[in-house]
A and B are shown apart, each in its own frame.
Chain A
């Protein structure tokens, strides 16, 4: 078998047809990521920070993270200002909704 014959054989390798279900999943991933980014863009700076923390910790881990931060005093007057507790209470529904949708 010559080099030319081998190269012709390789070039004639049939392409695998892409499963339609894969294309559908990739499209769905793209739409979900765009929606997530759009939702994040609607948040204010403090909420974006918490969003980023939530992303790192996982939504489930966010409650633990917040509790630990409260225990350490980080989410008191330092980070969120005097209304920190109320702000976190405000955020809970947002985060839940974003995590679900």
Chain B
């Protein structure tokens, strides 16, 4: 069943890409709405910079538009392809940069629902997680984010990262061990141990 769902999703993406290549503005709108947030979120988490994430997301989407006429329908999901391109663009930037930088104005809108105290706790948790993720090696960070933040299944992560499922499991396990070690001392303070 999951295989059928995956094939149906790939077929749908293929149809949208073909429609885009044929000049369909609605296909462009659907793909933009579905994929730009994905590209931006992933870049922001890998780079720790909202401004750089915007540049990466835009560049990745331009590459998607350019490849549309040659899209191999049914072979891969557009999201899988896009995650891979975003990760490659981020890797290039991180290598140029030589280090990770803290996430500056992340662009998150203030959440109006919780009270001020709750908002402070959420912000502290977000900062702690971001800082801990930034200490991980690139591929561990990418695997952990794709699995536990984006919620992707390991086979799709393997396709994105061009590795095997066992390689993904190993990256995730090592990444999570490092995160637990980094976050452990603050877990009680941040309300993660209940």
Q: Which residues of A contact B (CB under 8 A)?
A: 1-3, 5-19, 21-23, 25-27, 29-31, 33-34, 37-38
Name which residue of chain B comes closest to A30, CB basis. B28
Instruction: Given contacts A10-B144, A23-B32, list 18 more A-B pairs with CB under 8 A.
Output: A1-B184, A5-B187, A6-B148, A7-B148, A12-B125, A14-B122, A15-B37, A16-B50, A16-B106, A18-B37, A18-B107, A27-B28, A27-B29, A30-B28, A30-B32, A33-B65, A34-B20, A37-B23
Contact string against A for B residues 41-80, beta-carbon threshold 8 Å, 1 for contact and 0 otherwise: 1001100001001100110011001100100000000000
**B31 contacts across to A, CB distance below 8 A:** 30
CA of A16 to CA of B58, assembled, Å: 15
CB-CB under 8 A from B21, the residues of chain A are 37
B109 at the interface (CB under 8 A from A): yes
A10 to B183, CA, bound (A): 11
5 A-B pairs, CB-CB below 8 angstroms? A7-B148, A10-B149, A16-B107, A33-B62, A33-B65
B168-182 interface (Cβ within 8 A of A): 176, 179-180
Question: Is the Cβ of B108 less than 8 Å from the Cβ of A31?
Answer: no
Q: Report how far A14 CA is from B151 CA in the complex, Å.
A: 13
Looking at the assembled complex, report how far the CB atom of A34 sits from the nearest CB atom of chain B, in whole angstroms: 5
A3-B180, A9-B192 as given contacts; A30 in contact with B20, CB under 8 Å: yes
Closest 5 CB pairs of A and B: A10-B148, A1-B187, A30-B28, A33-B65, A1-B184
Q: Which of B106, B179, B193 has the most CB of A within 10 A?
A: B179
How many pairs of A and B residues are in contact by the CB < 8 Å rule?
108
Question: Which residues of chain A have C-beta atoms less than 8 A from B58's C-beta?
Answer: 22, 25-26, 29
A48 to chain B, nearest CB (A): 13
Q: Is the CB of B180 within 8 A of A6?
A: yes
CA distance A37 to B24 in the complex (A): 12
Nearest-neighbour CB distance to chain A for B50, whole angstroms, equals 7
Q: Is the CB–CB distance between B109 and A17 below 8 Å?
A: yes
Residues of A within 8 A of B126 (CB): 13-14
Contacts of A23 in B (CB 8 A): 32-33, 36
Interface residue? B83 (CB, 8 A): no
Asked if B25 lies at the interface with its beta carbon under 8 angstroms from chain A, I say yes
Known: A1-B192, A29-B62, A33-B65. A9 touches B107 (CB 8 A): no
- The complex places the Cα of A90 from the Cα of B154 at a distance, in Å, of 56
Closest to B37 in A: A18
A13 CB to nearest chain B CB (Å): 5
Select from chain B the residue with minimum beta-carbon distance to A17: B109
